[in-house]
Amino acid sequence: MSVQTPNTRTRLVVTAMQLFREKGYGSTSVADLLQAARVNSGSLYHFFPGKQDLLLAVLEAYHAGIQPLLLEPAWRGVADPIERVFALLATYRQALVTTECQYACPIGSLALELHEPDLPVRERLAANFSAWTDAIHQCLQAAGARLPRELDRRELAAFVLTTMEGAVMQARTFRDVGSFDAAVRQLRGYFERLLSEASRAGKSRGRAPAKRKEPR
């Protein structure tokens, strides 16, 4: 219940999440980290063989947090599966706003920052992307026949991630949320065309589309 400082290991991981997000992995020195977490170097190396292993723990923490810390708040009060896709994007928009467009997706940043082959790190980056994409994929499946039958839902889910990452990158570079909004607007345009296409196809096949009110 209390807000006491948690155990050292957790404190290190939490601090590392913050600093890696703000300054990047390479530009965060171990000394920065130790100072911010109020930990001595020996303790760090007691829990982690090296800086990179701390990064692995950070990536696992992000992975574990996707559902409870990202999706759940973003989707609270949003039932429609398609709107959930855009509600998630709205969460990133909010992150941009509150950081004056300095926000960058920590996973995406690390994905571009790390240049060694680094198999274990890359695997966990991929796992984070996959978990994100899977969540969107479930929304798209829940949308059922509202999307064209032949549409590859997995591919579209990945495309939503593509859009988010690219949009955040541009908004950050231009220091302008408008860039993010513009990208989301285009994605919305794509979705609307997919939805109306499925709606038309549904009608001509005699199946009344679920939510059309006035078939004028």
Partner DNA sequence: CGGCCAGTTGACTGATCATTCAAGTGGGCG
Partner DNA sequence: CGCCCACTTGAATGATCAGTCAACTGGCCG
Q: Which residues bind a copy of itself (CB under 8 A)?
A: 22-24, 26-27, 102, 104, 108-109, 111-113, 115, 122, 125-126, 129, 151-152, 155-156, 158-159, 161-167, 169-170, 172-175, 179, 182-183, 185-187, 189-190, 193-194, 197
Binding partner of 46, given DNA, a copy of itself, none, CB within 5-8 angstroms per partner class: DNA
Backbone angles phi, psi at 28, to 5 degrees: -95, 115
Nearest approach, Cβ of residue 40 and a copy of itself (Å): 26
Under DSSP, the state recorded for 71 is I
CB 28 within 8 A of CB 16: yes
Reduce the DSSP state of residue 208 to 3 states and report it.
coil
Nearest approach, Cβ of residue 80 and a copy of itself (Å): 21
What are 36's two structure tokens? Answer: 């911010």
List, in order, residues 6 or more apart from 26 with CB less than 8 Å away: 113
Q: Which of residues 34-73 bind DNA (CB under 7 A)?
A: 39-47, 49-52
What are 170's two structure tokens? Answer: 């541009």
Under DSSP, the state recorded for 15 is H
Nearest approach, Cβ of residue 112 and DNA (Å): 19
Binding partner of 156, given DNA, a copy of itself, none, CB within 5-8 angstroms per partner class: a copy of itself
Instruction: Provide the CA 9 distance to its chain's centre, in angstroms.
Output: 25
Residue type, 119: L
> Exactly one of 3, 7, 150, 216 binds DNA (CB under 7 A); which one?
7
Nearest approach, Cβ of residue 8 and a copy of itself (Å): 26
Task: Find the radius of gyration of the CA atoms of the chain.
Answer: 21
> Exactly one of 20, 24, 29, 74 binds DNA (CB under 7 A); which one?
29
Nearest approach, Cβ of residue 38 and DNA (Å): 8
Q: Which is nearer to a copy of itself, 98 or 173 (CB)?
A: 173
Exposed/middle/buried for 110, CB within 10 Å: 0-12, 13-18, 19+?
Answer: buried
Q: Which is nearer to a copy of itself, 42 or 116 (CB)?
A: 116
Tokens 């509150």, located at residue: 98
Q: Contact positions toward DNA, by CB under 7 A?
A: 7-8, 28-32, 39-47, 49-52
